[in-house]
A = this chain, B = another copy of it.
Amino acid sequence: MASIKDVAKLAKVAPSTVSLVLNQKGYVSDISRKKVEAAMQELSYIPSEMARNLSLSRTNIIGVIVPEISHPFFGTFIHAVEAELYGRGYKTMVCSTVQKANAEQDFVDMLRRRTMDGIIMGAHSLELDIYDNINRPVVAFDRFINDEIPIVHADHQSGGRIAAEAFLRHACHHIVQIIGARKVSSPANEHHEVFKQILCEAGIIVDTVEMAWNAFEPIDFSQIVENLFMEYPDVDGIFGPDLAICSCLRLAEQYGRHIPDDLRLVAYDGTYITRIGVRTITAIVQPIPLLAHFAVEKIITLIRGDVGEKLQALSVSLQQGDTC
């Protein structure tokens, strides 16, 4: 492996000059530049990122922590984040936490060790004290971590309202909402409350089913939905995450329900899976690309040491489908 010294020696200049050429910085005479370039060519020199990292004490790597990479919501988010970061010269390290003992702690340690310059944290963590006194750039994605850490999220209150209004356009009497684990501290929890409140005021019965904090697999959702049908046989409206609503649609027939006449369904998130089935699922759509954009924007601001402006909740929209 040729190093900057080898290039310097061959070009008969000092290493610092090679460095200048490499980084297109400062003034280098044309003649020196040519010599250096020729030498780099001849030695097929490739600068070492590790050395540069140590010297500059940054890696240009951002970590993204999510529960599950293959989940449509998080997968789409990571895809968008990676594209944004790439456009700004950063690399993306991914970390999934579900089904791993204390992965989140490990990832945060990497941040401390300066493996990454910052992290975007969107895992469903229960122990938030690992983020205390981090003193390094962290942006939360749809999670409340602590007062120091800025948070990027959609306007879930409005999401809850829009969903409620969708049901109100029809004559539902008993609606069940499937929600994430309450102990996961997330702004997403707000949509349940708004949703329930609006519908209750309209005289509709609203029951709530809570998922386990680590439920992400299709099988988890099937079970939840089966229990739901057993427990609330007269349910005529269900509101829940995309995959849960897919399960409802899938199991409805078995339970003798016809959609949308007997049972209306509205999904929350509105990822692509609500658009690839036989019927398009009516859904509240989170603006994932925008969320990714602002998360990246923010983490880079933090890395630069700026404060930046306070983040606004991003607008959600209704996808009118065949299920409500």
- Cα–Cα, bound, A50→B218 (Å): 40
| Interface check A110, CB cutoff 8 A | yes
| Interface check A232, CB cutoff 8 A | no
How far does the Cβ of A40 sit from chain B's closest Cβ, in whole Å?
A: 13
Docked-complex contact B70 and A78, CB < 8 angstroms: yes
Identical chains in the assembly: 2
Which of B57, B72, B86, B103 makes the CB contact (< 8 A) with A103? B86
Interface size class of A (residues with CB under 8 A): 35 or more
Which of B71, B93, B114, B218 makes the CB contact (< 8 A) with A93? B93
Docked-complex contact B83 and A76, CB < 8 angstroms: no
Chain B residue with minimal CB distance to A280?
B250
| Interface check A224, CB cutoff 8 A | no
Task: Given A93-B91, A278-B253, check contact A99 B115 (CB 8 Å).
Answer: no
| Interface check A54, CB cutoff 8 A | yes
| Interface check A125, CB cutoff 8 A | no
Stretch binding the partner chain, chosen from A5-13, A173-181, A269-277: A269-277
Given contacts A53-B53, A68-B79, A92-B94, 8 further A-B contacts (CB under 8 A): A49-B110, A70-B272, A79-B96, A83-B99, A86-B103, A86-B106, A92-B95, A246-B277
For window 11-54 of A, CB contacts with B under 8 Å fall at: 46-51, 53-54
Task: Given A50-B59, A54-B51, A76-B70, check contact A91 B110 (CB 8 Å).
Answer: yes
Which of B57, B93, B113 makes the CB contact (< 8 A) with A92? B93
A68: B residues at CB distance < 8 A: 79
| Interface check A61, CB cutoff 8 A | yes
A95: B residues at CB distance < 8 A: 82, 86, 91-92
How far does the Cβ of A52 sit from chain B's closest Cβ, in whole Å?
A: 9
A109: B residues at CB distance < 8 A: 46
- Cα–Cα, bound, A112→B94 (Å): 21
For window 225-248 of A, CB contacts with B under 8 Å fall at: 243, 246-247
Closest 5 CB pairs of A and B: A69-B79, A70-B75, A75-B75, A70-B79, A70-B76
- Cα–Cα, bound, A318→B219 (Å): 19
- Cα–Cα, bound, A49→B110 (Å): 8
A48: B residues at CB distance < 8 A: 54, 57, 113-114
A-B contacts, 19 of them at CB < 8 A, read: A46-B109, A46-B112, A49-B110, A49-B114, A53-B53, A61-B93, A68-B79, A69-B79, A70-B272, A78-B94, A82-B96, A83-B99, A83-B100, A86-B100, A86-B103, A91-B110, A92-B93, A93-B94, A277-B277
A93: B residues at CB distance < 8 A: 61, 91-94
How far does the Cβ of A209 sit from chain B's closest Cβ, in whole Å?
A: 19
| Interface check A249, CB cutoff 8 A | yes
In this complex, the member of A50, A57, A75 whose beta carbon has the largest number of chain B beta carbons within 10 angstroms is A50
- Cα–Cα, bound, A49→B114 (Å): 6
A83: B residues at CB distance < 8 A: 96, 99-100
- Cα–Cα, bound, A83→B246 (Å): 26
